[in-house]
């Protein structure tokens, strides 16, 4: 890449050193060699160090690379990975709303009914995750670490767009492997206001005003597209988000249990208490039967 050229990382890009006396692996863990996690399919147990991903850190004198012991070729999975979710985010006049269900499914089993699918990265950025639960947790941690390191090194916070680009570039080497993450970064930039960016392991990076991701997303879109207006009040927006997740969990087998809601404004994110969608369901049933009773009375 061009920037690599300028920073002269080109020569480290393609080589890897089987016996690395040059690499000092005893020094502090500075960077994970996640490029080689599964990608090269190496069989040796030597450490290796090709790190094309360090283009986003300035070259420093003791840029030691922490080298993971290699993985052998693909391990057979003991059970189907957790997929299936409904997450959504949208921007309105009062900021950004991020909502998600809390079910982690592994095939037909509800592996965990109370997962956190929305994770704060820093005070003005949360990320909603969908896809493989393990991959999402890992990449959220990696992202949090890299953002924090950027802030410490450059004494300013990376913009949301920059964060999305960083994440997208970190995920790019794993394109074509079985890494499956679809994250929505919901945040507030000091300079440019509310931002909503969708990043997925395919490499897509989309900025927009409304995104819903996961197996329940078509159902959520149905409710959201109908009800979303810029001029919603905060309570209306929250109830719209809750309704959208509820409807999606009603129809989608792989979403359910509770709903998490985050609201991000210029002052930062605030989290609502987790709500059990069972209560929402009973309220909805109650409302329907009341309507029906009302109709029968009138007839």
Partner 1 sequence: MEYLIGIQGQDFVLVAADNVAASSIIQMKHDYDKMFKLSEKILLLCVGEAGDTVQFAEYIQKNVQLYKMRNGYELSPAAAANFTRKNLADYLRSRTPYHVNLLLAGYDDSDGPGLYYMDYLSSLAKAPFAAHGYGAFLTLSILDRYYRPDLTRDEAMDLLKKCIEEVSSASISRRFHLHYLHLFNLFHL
* Measured distance CA(142)–CA(64) in Å, rounded: 18
241-280 footprint of partner 1 as x/- string (CB under 8 A): ----------------------------------------
163-182 footprint of partner 1 as x/- string (CB under 8 A): -----x---x--xx------
* Per-residue CA distances from 4 to 1, 7, 51, 154 (Å): 5, 5, 11, 19
Q: Compare residues 5 and 279 and give the one whose CB is closer to partner 1.
A: 5
| Of positions 18, 58, 193, 208, contacts partner 1 by CB under 8 A | 208
From 19-27, 76-84, 205-213, 278-286, span contacting partner 1 (CB under 8 A): 205-213
**Is residue 36 near partner 1 by the rule CB under 8 A?**
no
| Of positions 51, 200, 228, 241, contacts partner 1 by CB under 8 A | 200
| Of positions 116, 122, 205, 251, contacts partner 1 by CB under 8 A | 205
- Write down the least CB distance from residue 26 to partner 1, Å: 32
From 130-138, 207-215, 266-274, 283-291, span contacting partner 1 (CB under 8 A): 207-215
Q: Compare residues 160 and 258 and give the one whose CB is closer to partner 1.
A: 160
Please check whether residue 136 is in contact with residue 87, taking contact to mean a CB–CB distance below 8 angstroms: no
Binding residues for partner 1, rule CB under 8 A, total 22
97 Cβ partners below 8 Å, 6+ apart? 89, 90, 186, 237, 238, 241, 261, 262, 263, 264
* Measured distance CA(64)–CA(243) in Å, rounded: 50
**Is residue 1 near partner 1 by the rule CB under 8 A?**
yes
Q: Give the residue among 185, 153, 149 at the shortest CA–CA distance from 167.
A: 185
Q: Compare residues 219 and 269 and give the one whose CB is closer to partner 1.
A: 219
From 93-101, 108-116, 196-204, 264-272, span contacting partner 1 (CB under 8 A): 196-204
Q: How many CA within 13 A on the CB side of residue 74?
A: 7
Q: Compare residues 6 and 109 and give the one whose CB is closer to partner 1.
A: 6
The strand pairing partners of 206, in sequence order, are 198
**Is residue 211 near partner 1 by the rule CB under 8 A?**
yes
Tokens of 257: 């249990």
Catalytic site positions? 85
Binding site for partner 1 (CB under 8 A): 1-3, 5-6, 168, 172, 175-176, 198, 200, 202-206, 208, 211-212, 217-218, 221
């Amino acid at each position: 890449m061009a920037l690599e050229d300028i920073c002269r990382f080109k020569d480290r890009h393609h080589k890897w050193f089987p016996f690395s006396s040059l690499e000092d692996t005893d020094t502090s863990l500075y960077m994970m060699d996640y490029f080689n996690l599964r990608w090269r399919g190496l069989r040796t147990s030597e450490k290796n160090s090709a790190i094309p991903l360090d283009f986003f850190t300035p070259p420093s004198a003791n840029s030691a690379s922490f080298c993971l012991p290699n993985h052998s070729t693909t391990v057979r999975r003991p059970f189907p990975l957790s997929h299936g979710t409904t997450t959504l985010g949208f921007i309105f006049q009062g900021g950004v709303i991020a909502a998600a269900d809390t079910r982690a499914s592994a095939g037909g089993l509800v592996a965990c009914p109370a997962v956190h699918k929305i994770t704060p990265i820093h005070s003005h950025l949360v990320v909603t995750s969908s896809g493989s639960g393990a991959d999402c947790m890992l990449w959220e941690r990696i992202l949090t670490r890299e953002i924090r390191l950027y802030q410490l090194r450059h004494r300013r916070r990376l913009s949301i767009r920059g964060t999305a680009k960083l994440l997208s570039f970190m995920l790019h080497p794993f394109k074509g492997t079985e890494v499956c993450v679809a994250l929505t970064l919901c945040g507030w930039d000091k300079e440019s206001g509310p931002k909503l960016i969708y990043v997925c392991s395919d490499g897509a990076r989309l900025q927009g005003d409304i995104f819903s991701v996961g197996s329940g997303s078509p159902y959520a879109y149905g409710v959201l597209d109908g009800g979303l207006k810029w001029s919603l009040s905060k309570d209306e927006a929250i109830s719209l988000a809750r309704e959208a997740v509820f409807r999606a969990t009603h129809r989608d087998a792989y979403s359910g249990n509770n709903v998490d809601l985050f609201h991000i404004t210029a002052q930062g994110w605030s989290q609502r208490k987790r709500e059990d969608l069972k209560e929402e369901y009973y309220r909805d049933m109650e409302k329907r039967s009341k309507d029906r009773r009302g109709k029968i009375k009138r007839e």
